[in-house]
Amino acid sequence: MRLVPLLELRGLSVSLPAEPAPVRALRGLDLELLPGERLALVGESGSGKSTALLAIAGLLPDEAEITGGRRFPALGREPTPGRDLGLVLQDPFASLDPVLSVGEQIGEVLVAHRGARWAEARRAAVVLLGRVGIAEPEARVDDPPHRFSGGQRQRIAIAMAIAAGPRLLLADEPTSALDTVVQAQILDLLDGLVREQGTALLLVTHDLAVAGRIADRIAVLYAGRLVECGPAALLLRHPRHPYTRALLAIARALEAGTGGPLAAIPGTPPEPGAEPPGCSFAPRCPLAFARCAEEPPAWRGHARDGVACHRADR
Amino acid sequence: MSGPAPLLEVEGLTKRWPGATAPAVTEVSLAVASGERVALVGASGSGKTTLARLILRLVEPDRGSIRFAGRDLLALRGEALRRIRAELQLVFQDPLAALDPRRRVGAQVADPLRAHRLVPRSGRTAAVAALFERVGLDPALARRYPHELSGGQRQRVAIARALASRPRLLLLDEPVAQLDVSVKAQILDLLERLRREDGLAWLLITHDLGVARAASDRILVMAEGRIVEEGPTAAVLAAPRAPATRALVAAELRLPPLDPRDLSATAPSANPRTT
């Protein structure tokens, strides 16, 4: 039996206004997320991963030019941010109001989306603060955000994002501003919460190890296009796209500390508007041949597992 | 330890911020030899940034001594301090904050050449171009403003400026923390090449053990303002003893090993399918 996807992107393209020419941040993205599934969207700056997250959340600026489809089949309607979609950003200060107490901010989500009264919302906020690991939540619920450390603020932002029991949690680099010890704690927390609640997770990260820690499936973006996606364990052990291979080679060299050059990928991603006609990675790819520069590689595989590379012929 | 006197020698350094319950840095002693790569790691709030600011004399310690190239850094004032600062340069996490947004990057790389009177005015453009080439930047980029460069290019500019005054020691404060993985690797490779060429030493401050592994031979671990463990990087990270080191190592995310069939493969192949 085939599960009805929670989220389906079909040929999603997004152009953002810029000088001298609009930036084509996404160029035909197909993606599917099942209920309760955990997908990591991995890429570097300019890959389009954050644009994809904003597009899914319906938070792109009005000037953005959007083509292609974004549907929520399992929901059967347009999602309401806050109720159906929770959002966690890199900088918790961006999602927390500096003058309101953390209890008021978490409570507000419940009042707005679950019709709670303020007294019960405050009690629920105490419970949520406890669930995200804030010690003595009863004593802290009336504190403003600046009384908490960076890691604690991210926990509070997560409490707000999950307060209304959303079907989908969207997290944009939720741990990249945190040190490794706090990062591991926050990933453990996110992992536990989405498992308990059966929430689907779409995590945007530049870090393949973070993706591997929390995701069932990984999708790798480069210059606005999907280059590879597949089950996390398989993709990390057996990458097919030369870009994924190169990223993993660097990450493994840093883990192993064997010395010598890190075999960095030469060059930089294409400037927006200057994407080559063929494969966007071709100018940096050690395996590129004539066809790569001329013709964008077709997607091989299916929506949940595949690769876009001329070299990936079976 | 016998051998030549260290380039940087810190002893019993202590700093307490007014009103704080515990000192930010307590009785820290460390040494960096000429040409040596030393990493200083620790979680947020462990005191590593305060220690860096003390070494740069951006804040004054309550107690302790800092010797650099045989000179008492804390006793130096004015011109003498300025001259020795040329030999101790800083590269930090956010090059955008380090660069003046209103000035062309070439002029900013030229600043130390002028300030330390290293190159006569007539030779400055050529000297800046040479520095740009050393850090892998097209000299034509010298005419751009910081916001017209990518994050990796800006960090290369910051490195070029640090190199301009011919330093012997670089203080690298999370130099690649904000960079993409591919750019991070490029910058670490660049720093290592420059170090070999110039015989530089560095004290690298990072919370990223991967960066410490790649760019240090000796590691110092800080927790609660103190150095709690010290030794060869590979050995310390393979068998951490102090609780703080163990916590850092335990928190590190590890990738699963590469499929052995892929180790020697050079061309991508399709995933084996079982269904």
Query: Exposure pattern of B221-255 as b/e (b: 16+ CB <10 Å)?
Result: bbbbbbbbbbbebbebbeebebebbebbbebbbeb
pLDDT for B180 beyond 90 = no
Distance from CA of A185 to the nearest CA of B (A): 8
Mean pLDDT throughout A177-188?
88
pLDDT grade, residue A313 (50/70/90)?
Answer: low
Of the given ranges (A66-75, A224-233, B172-181), which has the lowest mean pLDDT? B172-181
Of B43, B150, B207, the CB nearest to A268: B150
pLDDT grade, residue B191 (50/70/90)?
Answer: very high
| Residue of chain B minimizing CA distance to A241 | B268
Of A150, A241, A255, the CB nearest to B268: A241
Rounded Cα distance between B167 and B171, Å, is: 10
Distance from CA of B255 to the nearest CA of A (A): 6
Residues contacting B18, CB < 8 A, separation 6+: none
Model confidence, pTM: 0.89
pLDDT for B265 beyond 50 = no
- Using a CB-CB cut-off of 8 Å, the residues of chain B touching A262 are 185, 188-189, 214
pLDDT tens digit string along A119-160? Answer: 999 999 999 999 999 999 999 999 999 999 888 999 999 999
Percent of chain A with pLDDT over 70: 99
pLDDT at B182: 87
Does the distance separating the beta carbons of B268 and A245 come in below 8 Å?
A: yes
Rounded Cα distance between A268 and B155, Å, is: 14
Domain ranges of chain A: 1-36+43-75+217-314
pLDDT at B272: 40
pLDDT at B22: 82
pLDDT grade, residue B263 (50/70/90)?
Answer: low
Distance from CA of B174 to the nearest CA of A (A): 11
pLDDT tens digit string along A250-290? Answer: 999 999 888 788 877 888 888 877 889 999 999 999 999 99
| Residue of chain A minimizing CA distance to B136 | A267
Of the given ranges (A86-95, A116-125, A149-158, A289-298), which has the lowest mean pLDDT? A86-95
Q: What superfamily in CATH does domain B1-87+208-249 come from?
A: P-loop containing nucleotide triphosphate hydrolases (3.40.50.300)
Percent of chain A with pLDDT over 90: 80
Q: What is the CA radius of gyration of chain B?
A: 21
- Using a CB-CB cut-off of 8 Å, the residues of chain B touching A210 are 253
Of A179, A248, A256, the CB nearest to B207: A179
Q: Please state, rounded to an integer, the average pLDDT across all residues of chain B.
A: 89
Cis previous bond, B240, omega within 30: no
Rounded Cα distance between B271 and A140, Å, is: 50
pLDDT at B83: 87
Percent of chain B with pLDDT over 70: 93
Q: How many CB atoms lie within 10 A of CB A240?
A: 26
ipTM reported for the complex surpasses 0.90: no
- Using a CB-CB cut-off of 8 Å, the residues of chain A touching B210 are 251, 254-255, 257
Q: Which CATH architecture has domain A1-36+43-75+217-314?
A: 3-Layer(aba) Sandwich (3.40)
Domain ranges of chain B: 1-87+208-249
Rounded Cα distance between A58 and B161, Å, is: 43
pLDDT at A136: 95
Strands A300-302 and B37-41: unpaired
pLDDT for B42 beyond 90 = yes
pLDDT at B201: 97
